Amino acid sequence: MEPLDSVADDVRQLMAVPIEEFTTQRDALVRRLRSEGHRAAAAELAGLRRPSPALWAVNQLPRRDPELLERLLVTGEALRRAQGRMLAGQPDVELTEPAEAHLAAVTDGVELGRRALREIDRPATAAMVDRMRETLVAASLAETTRTPLAEGRLVAEVPAASIGFGVAPPPEPASSAAPSDTGDGNGARGVRGADRAWRIGDAQAAMTEAEGRRDGAVDRLHEIQARRQELERDNADAQRALGEARRALADADAVHRRAAGEEAAARDRAALVEQRAGQARAEEEAAQRAIDQARAAMERARRVLRSAERDPNS
């Protein structure tokens, strides 16, 4: 039984919550289940770990795009059946078309996961993209994980090693049963078919890995381009600030020169005013002396006049 199947609905709900809220909501759910007497279910949920960003993104597929999920599962089943028929020794089994259709669905699923991660401010790294791709491929092909994938309740990333190309093929009508080794060449064709299935499986894995590396390189290129554009904007801002600073410095220098000239002119005016003030003080003193001399002369004249008036014979 797939782990946590007994609490599938609870796991489905938990996988829908934001990553940072997972632990809090899981612990609250565990406490509720214990209080209701569901100790076994509570124990199962208590061991559920917070999903990685890649796993969280994969679990968003049935919630965000059910049609894409259906396409992924249908193409995965078609690829499984084709691989099973080839491993059973059936000649002329075509794997290219189902493999390409499945890979296209996986690629679209990865892109959906990347968009979901961007929406929660967790841009997907190249490693996250690789893990999403590997989980989507493996979970859509392995029988034990197809249902959890379809319900958005995968509890762990699914490694590619979990895909078994040697599993028994799905049941087919009797008319298409695998030929037995009767010495007429069917056995040899079965061996060649199995070898071809493995080679195609390896090629598909290599294609998936190469596509992951390509996407990682594209992501890195986009990051570098975004950083370069950011640096170019910063450089343009710095150049504008430098130009403004130079203009401000030139303006300040001009103001300083004007202020220095005005200060010199003011000093000259002050010196001239001081000179004229000194001259005015000297003239004022000369005028005061003349007034004093005139007063003394008037006083002498008054004394002579009084003396003449007292002595008529003088």
What tens digit of pLDDT does each residue of 280-307 get? 888 888 889 989 998 898 988 888 888 8
Asked which of 74-88, 167-181, 291-305 is least confident by mean pLDDT, the reply is 167-181
Report helix, strand or coil for 37.
coil
Please give the full DSSP string across 178-247, using - where no structure is assigned: PPP--SSSHHHHHHHHHHHHHHHHHHHHHHHHHHHHHHHHHHHHHHHHHHHHHHHHHHHHHHHHHHHHHH
Report helix, strand or coil for 45.
helix
What tens digit of pLDDT does each residue of 96-133 get? 899 999 999 999 999 999 999 999 999 999 999 999 99
| Dmax (CA) of the chain | 192
**What is the amino acid identity at position 69?**
L
> Per-residue pLDDT for 184 more than 70?
no
Looking at residue 161, what DSSP letter applies?
G
> Per-residue pLDDT for 194 more than 50?
no
> Per-residue pLDDT for 165 more than 50?
no
pLDDT at 181: 41
> Per-residue pLDDT for 151 more than 70?
yes
**What is the amino acid identity at position 183?**
G
8 A C-beta contact, residue 73 and residue 140:
yes
Residues 6 or more apart whose Cβ sits within 8 Å of residue 72: 61, 102, 105, 106, 109, 136, 140
> Per-residue pLDDT for 90 more than 90?
no
pLDDT at 130: 93
pLDDT at 199: 55
Higher pLDDT, 203 or 249: 249
Reported as a pLDDT band with limits 50, 70 and 90, residue 175 is very low
b/e burial code for range 204-219 (CB count within 10 A of at least 16 → b): beeebeebbeebbeeb
Closest listed residue to residue 79, CA positions, set 156, 131, 137, 28: 137
pLDDT at 314: 58
What tens digit of pLDDT does each residue of 228-286 get? 777 888 888 888 898 888 888 888 888 888 888 888 888 888 888 888 888 888 888 88
How far is the C-alpha of 16 from the C-alpha of 60, rounded, in Å? 7
Reported as a pLDDT band with limits 50, 70 and 90, residue 308 is confident
Q: How many residues does the chain have?
A: 314
The pLDDT mean for the chain works out to 81
pTM for the full model? 0.54
Task: Give the side-chain half-sphere CA count within 13 A for 172.
Answer: 18
